Amino acid sequence: MDLKVISKNRSFGGEQTVYSHSSESCDCEMTFAIYLPPQAKTGPVPVLWYLSGLTCTHENAMTKGGFQEAAADYGVAVVFPDTSPRGDNVADDDAYDLGQGAGFYVNATRDPWRSHFRMYDYIVDELRDIVLKNLPIQDRHGITGHSMGGHGAITIAIRNAEKFGSLSAFAPIAHPTRSDWGRKQLSSYLGDDENTWAEYDATLLLEEHGWKGELLIDQGADDQFLDLLKPEALANMMAKRRQPGQIRIQEGYDHSYFFVNSFARDHVEWHAERLSQ
């Protein structure tokens, strides 16, 4: 795999690098960022995957999320993938919540999306292999994400529990099959058969499979998108399943990166503790 360095910056004794590469899953050039803490200079380190939300690229959380300092303190790498395939030949839509920037971490099965929109395979298999083979990363993975990315983190982890040792999320889209942030996209990417949507719904997957460890979910109480995120569905399912973990409702916080930045250290510490076991 030929990784092209787009940028490299020193940060808290480590390195924040942006790469591009040709993707087989998405059939286009893809970009991702990774922060390597100073501990990676002497040997491989565990890795936390951060999946971003609607309209974001690899850059938003890299520059606004506030993960680097905590990652350096705890000796954890952080990978920031893009949220969708991109390019002139990649299908798109005029709406902000469909198409480029809105991959929803699914494998699309309908035209015009199925040729490129295979973000599930890209995260679970292709980019994972690239990172393990080319960078000083241990095969110990945690995953988190924000909003659409929180949906992606929970669904990917539950469906691939053997590949991920820890799981958390910031304000995830918790029940997309019952939300306008979900039904529109899942029908566009997968078709009208709602039975095929269930494998991309965090609440339904938790009901069917549970999660092998604890869950940490942070949700802003003043989030302007609460009706779309439906955190109560996930909370009720955790109670029904007696799923270990916690959903923390953070007073006064909205849906922005100020919210993510405020609790980034908590999540890095949470994953570092579990990946060290």
pLDDT digits (tens, 9 = 90+) for 135-163: 999 999 999 999 999 999 999 999 999 99
Residue of 23, 25, 52, 147 with catalytic role: 147
Provide the number of structural domains found in the chain: 1
On whether the CB atoms of residues 151 and 126 are closer than 8 A, the answer is no
Residue-level pLDDT, tens digit, the chain, 277 residues: 689 999 999 999 999 999 999 999 999 999 999 999 999 999 999 999 999 999 999 999 999 999 999 999 999 999 999 999 999 999 999 999 999 999 999 999 999 999 999 999 999 999 999 999 999 999 999 999 999 999 999 999 999 999 999 999 999 999 999 999 999 999 999 999 999 999 999 999 999 999 999 999 999 999 999 999 999 999 999 999 999 999 999 999 999 999 999 999 999 999 999 999 8
* Residue 147 is a catalytic residue: yes
Report field, pTM of the whole predicted structure over 0.95? yes
Q: For residues 152 and 126, what is the distance between their CA atoms, to the nearest angstrom? A: 16
* Residue 223 is a catalytic residue: yes
| SS3 assignment, position 43 | coil
The DSSP secondary-structure symbol of 103 reads -
Residue of 58, 141, 175, 255 with catalytic role: 255
Assigned token pair, 58: 């690899």
Closest CA to 67 of 255, 270, 223: 270
| SS3 assignment, position 244 | coil
Q: For residues 151 and 203, what is the distance between their CA atoms, to the nearest angstrom? A: 10
* Residue 22 is a catalytic residue: no
On whether the CB atoms of residues 19 and 6 are closer than 8 A, the answer is yes
- Give the CATH number, domain containing residue 65: 3.40.50.1820
Closest CA to 130 of 167, 81, 86: 81
Domain region containing 130: 4-276
**Quick one: 10 exposed, middle or buried, by C-beta within 10 A (0-12, 13-18, 19+)?**
exposed
For residue 85, whether the previous peptide bond is cis, meaning omega lies within 30 degrees of 0, is: no
Assigned token pair, 30: 């893809």
Q: For residues 161 and 175, what is the distance between their CA atoms, to the nearest angstrom? A: 20
Q: For residues 204 and 142, what is the distance between their CA atoms, to the nearest angstrom? A: 21
For residue 176, whether the previous peptide bond is cis, meaning omega lies within 30 degrees of 0, is: no
For tokens 């009706």, what's the residue? Answer: 227
What angle (nearest 5°) sits at the alpha carbon of residue 41, between those of residues 267 and 71?
Answer: 10
Residue of 58, 146, 223, 267 with catalytic role: 223
